[in-house]
Structure 1
Amino acid sequence: MHVFNLAMLGKQAQRPANEPNSLVSGMFKAKYHLHGDFMNAALGHNTSDAWSSLWSTQHLLKARHHWKVDSGANILMWSDP
């Protein structure tokens, strides 16, 4: 269940990383990483639960431990995790 939660949070964390001009990205940027980007932001102190959760997936996004399913043609059903 923990891995599933990280995967879902990672999907949500891609949005501020890929769409830096969105409203939610702007709110997080103004509060938590004013002079940088999401991928290099620090956790800080006294943060919201939403920011802490999204921030916890940075290591996954940096390591590229996610992949896009698309049509599913490249997935080996019996051997891929």
Structure 2
Amino acid sequence: MGFRDVQAFNLSLLAKQAWRFIHKTHSLFYKVYKSRYFPNCSFMDAELGINPSYVWRSLLAARDVIIEGSKWKVGDGRSIGVLTHIWLSHKLIFLGEQQPGLMVKDLIDSNTMQWDREKIFDLFAHRRRMEILSIPLQQNIAVGMQ
């Protein structure tokens, strides 16, 4: 068929299936795998587990492709940990001491729903500041929803 890299092609097809797994949570395929492999968490937080099938291992490999190529949609920032989630293209560089419990919502001015420039300039190095400030925030997000 002329595929140059069969493994990459296979991984891209698996990533498409994993994407469906993330978004089509009402399918029978999703429900069966959820009950077997990740009953108490989401697909994105699932672990390999005990005695996984070949398909499950493949889906987790594809999930890694999705994670690497995805970018967070910030919304109101309540569910994104500054240090615990990959929401920027590079690792954050703090000017001072890292703040482990810091959430992205803490970097947003709750009155204007804009980035809190002063706080961002106080916490982060120049390149990370510019990357954060270049992320558009949605103006029509209700508090508590994303």
TM-score of the superposition, structure 1-length normalised? 0.73
What is the aligned partner in structure 2 of residue 20 from structure 1? 25
- Which consecutive unaligned segments of at least 5 residues does structure 2 have? 1-5, 71-146
Please give the alpha-carbon distance, in whole angstroms, between the structure 2 residues aligned to 1:63 and 1:20: 22
Aligned-residue RMSD, C-alpha: 1.2
Q: Secondary structure at the match of 1:56?
A: helix
Residue 41 of structure 1 aligns with which residue? 46
Higher radius of gyration, 1 or 2: 2
Query: Which amino acid counterpart does residue 40 of structure 1 have in structure 2?
Result: D
Local SS of the residue matching 1:57 = helix
Q: Return the alpha-carbon distance in structure 2 between the equivalents of residues 4 and 21 of structure 1.
A: 27
Structure 2 residue 34 is matched with structure 1 residue 29: yes
Percentage identity across aligned positions? 34
From the two aligned structures, give the one with the greater helix fraction.
1
What displacement does 1:22 show?
A: 1.1
Residue number in structure 1 paired with 2:8? 3
Q: Deviations over 1:14-38 (max 9, x none)?
A: 1111111211100000000001111
After TM superposition, what 4+ stretches of structure 1 lie above 4 angstroms from structure 2?
A: none
Give 1:13 deviation, angstroms. Answer: 1.1
